[in-house]
Chains A and B, each alone.
Chain A
Amino acid sequence: MKVFKLLGKKATRFGFGEALVELGEKNDKIVVLGADVTTSVLTSFFRDRFPERFFSIGIAEQNATTIAVGLALSGKIPFFASYSAFSAFRNADQLRISVCYNNANVKIGGGHSGITVGADGATHQSLEELALLRTLPNMTVVVPCDYLETKKATHSIAEIYGPAFIRFGRAPLPYFTTEDTPFTLGRAEIFREGKDVAIIACGTMVWEALIAAEELQKRKGISAKVINNHTIKPIDIKTIVESARECGAVVTAEEHQVHGGLGSAIAEVLAKNYPVPIEFVGMPDRFGLSGEPEELLEYFGLTWRQIYSSALKVIERRDYKSGSNHIYRKINEIVSFSDELL
């Protein structure tokens, strides 16, 4: 079994910013558009290295998105990045018609995503964009789990043709993947083997899922499989269905509203192919608040503790309640359930 160790803390935006420079070195078709927050989303690295291929559009995300389409229709590979709230929501119509309907080779970087943007508060905490983006035909949606994976994912979306979105964040958060950790766009990676429950996570929640799995093992003897489902679209149906078949119970975890994001995508796959009980960890259908990133994750229930308690709950539902046709050995011999919720 692969074992992931905490290697340190680093914001995923560095992975994006650094990858753009590497991409710029090897491909002169890579161009970048900025909408005034270049030093926040770190497109400034590219701007400083390749000023002739960087275009400042000002605080005008709709225009930046559509200008990117004009560049893409001229054979370039434009990356436009801002905060997700602006580069992947405010410009929804531009993404739908000009980017996706054209199947234009435009790459959208969504920075300062999720609750972990912190003190800026609810207006800047983008927790809805995955729901929008994954309904758009032709769009690829990637939510990498740490700094290095963001770097790999940025390279990967440049290599495919067509619209793509990559999500990253501002706060320094755990990084734990290495050069050897496999990453293939569209393929969910099993980060920890397990047979009692499958935890399917993306982004910042992958590390939390690994901790939850460790705690489940330690405290309850429950063997949890952890899947890093970084590509929300196109989704890896095979890995998800196989995991559900093997475990019979699923927990999803994401730094996004519980509606419309990764959890919904997993539910769609399983409802159609192999229904099992699912518990959803995510933002509970409300707007965020100002605060420190880790404080907020705790406050809104986006930590390993909720994944842990959701795992217990979903196993209980599978074994004792209706809602599942899954035939599974009852594991009450292993663990007696209580109302204990961490």
Chain B
Amino acid sequence: MTTKIEFEQFTFENRARTPEEFADIAKELRRDVIKSLYLARSGHSGGSLGTADIFAVLFFGAVMRYDPTNPNWNERDRFVLSAGHICPILYASLARAGFFPVEELRTLRKLGSRLQGHPGIDMELPGLETSVASLGQGISIAVGMAINDKYLDKNERRVFALTGDGELQEGSVWEAAMAAAHYKLDNLCWIVDNNDCQIDGRVHDVMSIYPLDKKFEAFNFFVIEIDGHNFSEILSAFQTFHQNHKNKIGKPTVIIAKTKMGFPISFMNDSYEWHGIPPNEQQMIQALSELL
């Protein structure tokens, strides 16, 4: 028996919203993630679900400027998903923002799809800024974009980038951090998805990255720590970054978002085993029933 999977075509506007509205959007994004991963039969559930609340605010809370009808709009803010493996949540967000038909989410990881297993711009997916996935590289690309905007084009654009926390074990990440601070990139907002989970276990067991706040402070970042599942805190963190950018504080902003991998699905929540697997049919049905 195979359950028929439907993707209802509707989009969300990018505007000021209440926490309740964000909760509804995050729920829809999570449903998209569950369905597309189930159909793909492989992929990364944990981080995609755990960051859905952040994506809901980032894409649909007037945090980033973008125009789905003109993906290459030269005044848009740019988002780089350095943790490329959690692209199902990015694809869901782009689809729900109107960059491409929501129905396309069913092609995730399939031959010929624009939704590659890890993002690749050669497939020309609207809204996707760069190919990413080898961990640590996306954040350096974001630093390059921010250097461009601040020093060469001298515009008001902003660059948002999201890394995992296990990803911070890659040494080049700290090269990027050094450069971001050296070039005083107050137009860069770095989000760390701090779920303390990676494939092999807890980040603090595999190779500790802590203390994270002090590390970034020592690198001369403006550090914000939040509960990554609290919409008010998420929104307020992004607003602080907006202020930092407007006030030209001469420092990059990092938002360390404490999240739970797989949140809030009962059998996935805070479980690193869900880093790199999709739900089977029964798990998919169960997960969707928890997201009503």
A contact set with B: CB distance below 8 Å: 31, 52-53, 55, 57-58, 60, 62-63, 65-76, 78, 93-94, 96-98, 101-103
User: Are the C-beta atoms of A101 and B131 separated by less than 8 Å?
Assistant: yes
Instruction: Give chain B residues whose Cβ lies under 8 Å from the Cβ of A68.
Output: 144
Are A67 and B140 in contact, CB atoms less than 8 angstroms apart? yes
29 of the cross-chain contacts (CB-CB < 8 Å) are: A55-B147, A55-B151, A55-B183, A58-B175, A60-B175, A60-B179, A62-B140, A62-B171, A63-B140, A63-B175, A66-B140, A66-B144, A67-B140, A67-B143, A69-B144, A70-B130, A71-B144, A73-B141, A74-B153, A78-B144, A93-B137, A94-B134, A97-B132, A97-B133, A98-B131, A98-B137, A98-B141, A102-B130, A102-B131
A63 proximity list for chain B (CB < 8 A): 140, 143, 172, 175-176, 178-179
Q: Please name the residue on chain B nearest to A98 by beta carbon.
A: B137
Measured between alpha carbons, how far is A285 from B133 in the docked complex, in Å?
34
* Assembly CA distance A69 to B121 (angstroms): 13
- The chain B residue with its CB closest to the CB of A66 is B140
Whether B126 is near chain A, meaning CB under 8 Å from some CB there, is: no
Closest chain B residue to A28 by CB distance? B152
Q: Does B21 contact A (CB under 8 A)?
A: no
Contacts beyond the supplied A70-B144, A74-B144: 6 A-B pairs with Cβ under 8 Å:
A62-B171, A66-B176, A67-B176, A71-B145, A73-B129, A102-B121
CB closest chain-A residue, reference B84: A97
Would you call B148 and A76 a contact (CB within 8 A)? Answer: yes
Q: Does A58 contact B145, Cβ atoms closer than 8 Å?
A: no
Known: A67-B140, A70-B145. A58 touches B122 (CB 8 A): no
Is chain B's interface secondary structure helix, strand, loop, or mixed overall?
helix
Minimum distance in angstroms from A68 CB to a CB of chain B: 6
**A-contact bits for B132-163, CB 8 A (1 contact / 0 none):** 11101100111111111101110000000000
Interface set of B (CB-CB < 8 Å, partner A): 120-122, 129-134, 136-137, 140-149, 151-153, 171-172, 175-176, 178-179, 182-183
How far does the alpha carbon of A78 sit from the alpha carbon of B129 in the complex, in Å?
Answer: 18
Which residues of chain A come closer than 8 Å to B172, judged between CB atoms? 60, 62-63, 66, 94
On whether A67 and B144 interact (CB within 8 A), knowing A60-B179, A94-B137, A102-B131, the answer reads yes
Q: Is the CB of A93 within 8 A of B144?
A: no
In the assembled complex, the CB of A101 is this many whole angstroms from the nearest CB of chain B, namely: 5
Report chain A residues within 8 Å CB of B146: 70
Question: Which listed residue, A53, A57, A65, A73, touches B130 by the CB 8 Å rule?
Answer: A73
Are A74 and B145 closer than 8 Å at their CB atoms? yes
Docked complex Cα distance between A130 and B28 (Å):
49
Chain A residue numbers with a CB within 8 Å of B134 are 93-94, 96-98
Q: How far is the CB of A274 from chain B (nearest CB, A)?
A: 33
Which B residues lie within 8 Å of A98 (CB)? 130-132, 134, 137, 140-141
- Shortest CB-to-CB span from B141 to chain A, Å, is 4
Question: How far is B152's CA from A53's CA once the two chains are assembled, in angstroms?
Answer: 7
The answer to whether A52 and B151 have CB atoms under 8 Å apart is yes
Interface centre among B120, B131, B182 (most CB of A within 10 A): B131
Are A70 and B179 touching (Cβ within 8 A)?
Answer: no
CB neighbours (8 Å) of A94 from chain B are 134, 137, 140, 172
Q: How far is the CA of A61 from the CA of B217 in the complex (A)?
A: 24
Minimum C-beta distance from B149 to chain A (A): 7
Instruction: Please indicate the chain A residues that have their CB under 8 angstroms from the CB of B121 in the complex.
Output: 102-103
Question: What's the Cα separation between A53 and B153 when bound, in Å?
Answer: 11
Q: Which residues of B contact A53 (CB under 8 A)?
A: 152
Known: A60-B178, A62-B172, A102-B131. A70 touches B152 (CB 8 A): no
A232–B290 Cα gap in the complex (Å)? 57
* Closest chain A CB from B279 CB (angstroms): 28
Which of B122, B142, B147, B151 is A101 in contact with, Cβ under 8 Å? B122
Query: A73 CA to B142 CA in the complex, in Å?
Result: 10
Q: Distance (Å) between the CB of A128 and the closest chain B CB?
A: 21
Tell me the minimal C-beta distance from B118 to chain A in angstroms: 9
Rounded to whole angstroms, the CA-CA distance of A76 and B183 in the bound complex is 18
Q: Which 8 A-B pairs have the closest CB atoms?
A: A70-B144, A66-B140, A63-B175, A74-B148, A67-B144, A60-B175, A70-B145, A62-B172
Cα separation A66 to B137 with both chains bound (whole Å): 6
CB distance from B115 to the nearest CB of A (A): 16
Output the residue of A58, A69, A93 with the most chain B CB within 10 A.
A69
Contacts A31-B152, A101-B131, A103-B122; is A70 near B175 (CB within 8 Å)?
no
- A66→B173 CA distance, assembly (Å): 11
Q: Across the interface, do B178 and A73 meet the contact criterion of CB distance under 8 Å?
A: no
Q: A97 CA to B133 CA in the complex, in Å?
A: 8
Q: In the complex, what residue of chain B is closest to A72 when comparing beta carbons?
A: B144
Is A70 in contact with B131, judged by CB distance below 8 angstroms? Answer: no
Chain A residue contacts of B142, Cβ below 8 A: 70
A97 touches B152 (CB 8 A): no
For the complex, give the distance between the alpha carbons of A67 and B140 in Å: 5
Cβ contacts under 8 Å, A72 to chain B: 144
